[in-house]
């Protein structure tokens, strides 16, 4: 607020000038050069594949080349940091998972998620599935919860990324049903699923696309999916909500951010284009085949999600550290 009284005309002129400066506008010919998607994970993962599908269609709609720049490391924070440092002109965009909401909440990021990146869209979302080893003495979610309650701190759970979105989804679930477990951390979904096949871990949580071959190959048991409703990719697998945790819902999403200061009209345009792409028949089918369904939230809507989930994750991670369940 102004500390001193000024004339109405002078105040209005100043306010108009400030508003103009605070909301940069894009050049009329945007885009007129190559757009870069930074993907903070290796090629071949869900974020990378989704970025390539969306990028292919967006390139055609905008009439511009889009390149994928994979910068993996530190649970997505290396690539995200590169996006934060990029020129905010609409030509560098971050395509990542909503795991950034938790990675940035660990206190190890060199940027402020809510201040240094502009939400563009929560593009598509998918389900996690709780899976059990064939060697475990249960074959469904109810059996798992009962067994875990009887064997406190003895049931091993494969976690593919400490403090990642899957880990925190499982934490929220286990708190809801009142069970304890022994976490075993793995560097990715493939080794965590292999641990279930070998019997090294009793239970794990993985994305549907990664777990489905193991389920269909009868190498692991599908206990339940984490989404609020049954998932199209695994229609015969019940939800945690309908079996042991009424009201529970969790999952992951592929999202887009832009560097702070990116012109608002570019952000809005990209969001609109992405919504039409992920809801369209061609890209929509390619994404659904991967277990990814459209969300296509607007920037303001996604910004609310970011703020809420980030704050929740800060609190949850603090509690996990205090309980000694993680040392990160």
The string of DSSP codes covering 152-171 is: TTT-EEEESSTTSHHHHHHH
Kindly give the confidence (pLDDT) of every residue in the chain, 328 residues in length, as a single tens digit, with 9 standing for 90 and above. Answer: 333 333 333 333 333 333 333 445 555 689 999 999 999 988 888 899 999 999 999 999 999 999 999 999 888 999 999 999 999 999 999 999 999 999 999 999 999 999 999 999 999 999 999 999 999 999 999 999 999 999 988 999 999 888 889 999 999 999 999 999 999 998 888 899 999 999 999 999 999 888 989 999 999 999 999 999 998 889 999 999 999 999 999 899 999 999 999 999 999 999 999 999 999 999 999 999 888 999 999 999 999 999 999 999 999 999 988 888 776 6
Q: Is residue 55 part of a domain?
A: yes
Residues 77 and 223 in one domain: no
Residues 142 and 246 in one domain: yes
Number of residues in the chain? 328
List beta partners, residue 159: 185
Q: By the 8 A CB rule, do 307 and 114 touch?
A: yes
205: domain CATH number is 3.40.190.10
Please give the tally of structural domains in the chain: 2
pLDDT of residue 26: 54
pLDDT of residue 325: 74
User: What range defines the domain where residue 270 resides?
Assistant: 30-125+252-318
Contacts of 292 (CB under 8 A, 6+ apart): 46, 50, 124, 125, 126, 254
Q: Write 44-50 long-range contacts (CB < 8 A, 24+).
A: 46/97, 46/126, 46/207, 46/209, 46/252, 46/254, 46/290, 46/292, 47/95, 47/96, 47/97, 47/254, 49/290, 50/95, 50/123, 50/124, 50/254, 50/287, 50/290, 50/292
pLDDT of residue 45: 82
Q: Is residue 144 part of a domain?
A: yes
Q: Is residue 20 part of a domain?
A: no
Residues 75 and 184 in one domain: no
Strand order of the β-sheet with 35-39 is 66-70, 35-39, 92-97, 252-259, 117-126, 293-294
Q: Considering 250, 280, 300, which residue would you say is the last residue of a domain?
A: 250
pLDDT of residue 265: 97
Residues 187 and 220 in one domain: yes
């Amino acid at each position: 607020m102004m500390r001193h009284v000024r004339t109405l005309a002078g105040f209005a002129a100043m306010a108009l000038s400030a508003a103009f400066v605070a909301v940069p506008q894009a050049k009329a010919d945007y885009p007129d050069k190559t757009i870069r998607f930074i993907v903070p994970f290796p090629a071949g993962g869900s974020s990378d594949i989704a970025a390539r599908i969306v990028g292919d269609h967006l390139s055609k709609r905008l009439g511009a080349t889009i390149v994928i720049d994979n910068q993996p490391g530190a649970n997505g924070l290396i690539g995200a940091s590169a996006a934060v440092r990029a020129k905010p002109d609409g030509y560098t965009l971050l395509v990542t998972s909503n795991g950034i909401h938790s990675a940035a909440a660990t206190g190890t990021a060199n940027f402020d998620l809510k201040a240094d990146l502009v939400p563009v869209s929560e593009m598509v979302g998918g389900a996690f599935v709780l899976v059990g080893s064939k060697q475990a003495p249960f074959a469904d979610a109810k059996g798992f919860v009962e067994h875990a309650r009887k064997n406190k701190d003895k049931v091993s759970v494969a976690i593919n990324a400490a403090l990642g979105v899957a880990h925190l989804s499982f934490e929220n679930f286990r708190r809801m049903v009142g069970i304890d477990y022994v976490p075993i951390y793995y560097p990715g979904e493939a080794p965590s699923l292999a641990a279930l096949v070998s019997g090294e871990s009793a239970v794990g949580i993985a994305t549907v696309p990664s777990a489905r071959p193991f389920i269909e190959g009868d190498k692991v048991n599908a206990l339940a999916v984490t989404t609020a409703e049954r998932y199209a990719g695994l229609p015969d697998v019940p939800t945690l909500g309908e079996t042991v945790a009424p009201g529970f819902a969790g999952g992951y999403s592929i999202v887009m951010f832009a560097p702070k200061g990116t012109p608002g009209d570019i952000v809005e345009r990209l969001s609109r284009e992405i919504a039409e792409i992920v809801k369209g028949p061609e890209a929509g089918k390619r994404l659904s085949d991967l277990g990814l369904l459209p969300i296509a939230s607007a920037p303001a809507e996604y910004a609310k999600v970011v703020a809420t989930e980030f704050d929740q994750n800060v609190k949850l991670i603090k509690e996990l550290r205090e309980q000694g369940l993680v040392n990160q």
